[in-house]
Amino acid sequence: MRQSAGVLVLVLAAGAAWALAPGDRVYVRGRDVAVLQSAAASAATLVKLQPGDAVVWRGADKKKPTWHHVETAGKSGFVYFANLSTTPPASELLTSPTGAKTVDAQAFASSGAAGKALTEGAIRYGNQDEKNKGALHPTMKEAVRQTQTLEAIAAQRTDAELAAQVARVTGEPQ
Amino acid sequence: MRRALLSLAMLGLLACAAASGLMKGDTSSIVGGVAESTGTVVGLTQDLSKCDQIGAAEITFDEERAIGGAVALNWVQQGGGLLVDVPTGDAAALASPRTLGIQDTPRNRLHKYLNVVGRNLASRSTRPTLQWTFGVLDSEVVNAVSAPGGYVFVTRGLLKRVSNEAALAGVLSHEIAHVTRKDAFAIYQKTKVDQCKSLAYAKAGQKEGSAVLRSYSPGFINQAYAALQAFSGGALDLNAAANNALLTLFSDEFVHRYLEGGYARDQEIQADATGLELTVATGYSPRGFVDFIGALPPGQNFFAHHPAPSDRVASMKLLLGKTRVATVSSSAPGSPFSPFSQDVSQLPLLPLRDELAAAR
- Cβ distance of A152 and B97 shorter than 8 Å: yes
E strands within B30-150?
133-137, 144-147
Q: What is the three-class DSSP state of A35?
A: strand
Q: Do the chains contact at A87 and B330, CB–CB below 8 Å? A: yes
State which of A80-84, B210-214, B288-292 shows the largest mean pLDDT: B288-292
Q: What is the pLDDT of residue B75?
A: 97
Quote the ipTM score. Answer: 0.85
Verify whether the Cβ–Cβ distance A30 to B281 is below 8 Å.
yes
The pLDDT assigned to B358 comes to 81
- Distance to chain B for A91, nearest Cα, Å: 8
More confident residue, A36 or B17: A36
B80 to chain A nearest CA, in Å?
6
- Summarised one tens digit per residue, pLDDT across range A88-100 is 999 999 987 777 8
State whether A20 and B336 contact (CB < 8 Å): yes
What letters, b where the CB count within 10 A reaches 16 and e where it falls short, cover A83-95?
Answer: bbbbbbbbebbbb
> A38 by DSSP, 3-state: which?
coil
Q: How many CB atoms lie within 10 A of CB B326?
A: 13
Q: Which pLDDT score, from 0 to 100, does residue B38 have? A: 60
Closest partner CB to B73 (pick from A100, A137, A144): A144
A18-74 pLDDT, tens digit per residue, is: 578 999 999 998 888 899 999 988 899 999 998 899 999 999 999 988 899 999 989
Confidence of residue B233 (pLDDT cuts 50, 70, 90): confident
Count of A–B CB contacts within 8 Å? 261
Do residue B82 and residue A29 have CB atoms under 8 angstroms apart?
no
B78: buried, middle or exposed (CB in 10 Å: 19+, 13-18, 0-12)?
Answer: middle
Average pLDDT value for chain B: 85
Which has more confidence, B272 or B339?
Answer: B272
CB contact under 8 A, B127 and A157: no
Q: Output the CA angle A57-B170-B120, nearest 5 degrees.
A: 50
Task: Please state, in angstroms and rounded to a whole number, the distance separating the CA atoms of residues A163 and A159.
Answer: 6
Chain B residues whose CB is inside 8 A of the A115 CB are 131
Q: How confident is the model at residue B36 (pLDDT cuts 50, 70, 90)?
A: low
pLDDT tens-digit map of B134-149: 999 999 999 999 999 9
pLDDT band at residue B341 under the 50/70/90 scheme: confident
Question: Which residue in B128, B134, B284 is closest to A169 by CB distance?
Answer: B284
**B58 interfaces chain A, CB cutoff of 8 Å:** yes
pLDDT of residue A72: 95
Across B285-297, average pLDDT = 93
pLDDT score at A172? 67
Task: Choose among B70, B280, B284: nearest Cβ to A122.
Answer: B70
Q: Do the chains contact at B73 and A126, CB–CB below 8 Å?
A: yes
Residue B343, classified by CB atoms within 10 Å of its CB into exposed (0-12), middle (13-18) or buried (19+), is exposed
Contact B61, A92 (CB under 8 A): yes
**Residues counted in chain B:** 360
Contacts of A145 in chain B (CB under 8 A): 86, 94
Average pLDDT over residues B280-289: 94
Q: How confident is the model at residue B335 (pLDDT cuts 50, 70, 90)?
A: confident
Is the separation of the CB atoms in A22 and A57 below 8 Å?
yes
Angle formed by the axes of helices B106-122 and B165-180, to 10°? Answer: 60
Alpha-carbon torsion (B143, B145, B150, B151), positive or negative: negative
From A88's Cα to the closest Cα of chain B, the distance in A is 8
Q: What is the mean pLDDT of residues B280-298?
A: 92
Count of other CB atoms within 10 angstroms of residue B89: 15
DSSP 3-state assignment of B211? Answer: helix
What pLDDT, on the 0 to 100 scale, is given for residue B30? 42
**Identity at A171, one-letter amino acid code:** G
Instruction: Return the ∠ at Cα A134 (arms to A130 and A137), rounded to 5°.
Output: 110
* pLDDT greater at residue A100 or residue A127: A127
B130 in contact with A, Cβ within 8 Å: yes
Has residue A75 got a pLDDT over 90? yes
CB contact under 8 A, A147 and B330: no
- Please report the pLDDT score of residue A51 as a whole number: 87
Residue B360, pLDDT score: 79
Are A89 and B126 in contact (CB < 8 Å)?
Answer: yes
Q: What is the mean pLDDT of residues B76-85?
A: 97
pLDDT tens sequence across B46-67:
999 999 999 998 999 999 999 9
DSSP string of B275-335, one letter each residue:
HHHHHHHHT--THHHHHHHHTSPTT-GGGGGSPPHHHHHHHHHHHHTTSSHHHH-TT-TT-
CB contact under 8 A, B86 and A146: yes
CA distance A107 to chain B (A): 10
- Answer whether B217 touches A (CB < 8 Å): yes
Those residues with Cβ within 8 angstroms of residue B125's Cβ, 6 or more apart along the chain or in another chain: A29, A89, B176, B177, B180, B278
Nearest-CA residue of chain B relative to A30?
B124
Q: Given a cut of 70, is residue B130 above it in pLDDT?
A: yes
pLDDT tens track for B184-221: 999 999 999 999 999 999 999 998 888 888 889 999 99
Q: Do A81 and B342 touch (CB under 8 A)?
A: yes
Phi, psi of A134 (to 5 degrees): 90, 180
Nearest CB to B339: which of A18, A82, A109?
A82
Q: What is the pTM of this model?
A: 0.85
Please say if the pLDDT value at position B131 is more than 50: yes
Mark yes or no for CB contact B123/A162 under 8 Å: yes
- CB–CB contact A145 B86 (8 Å): yes
pLDDT for residue B194: 95
Higher pLDDT, residue B257 or B35 = B257
Cβ within 8 Å of A, B 131-160: 131-135
Distance from CA of B295 to the nearest CA of A (A): 24
pLDDT digits (tens, 9 = 90+) for B321-332: 863 344 334 444
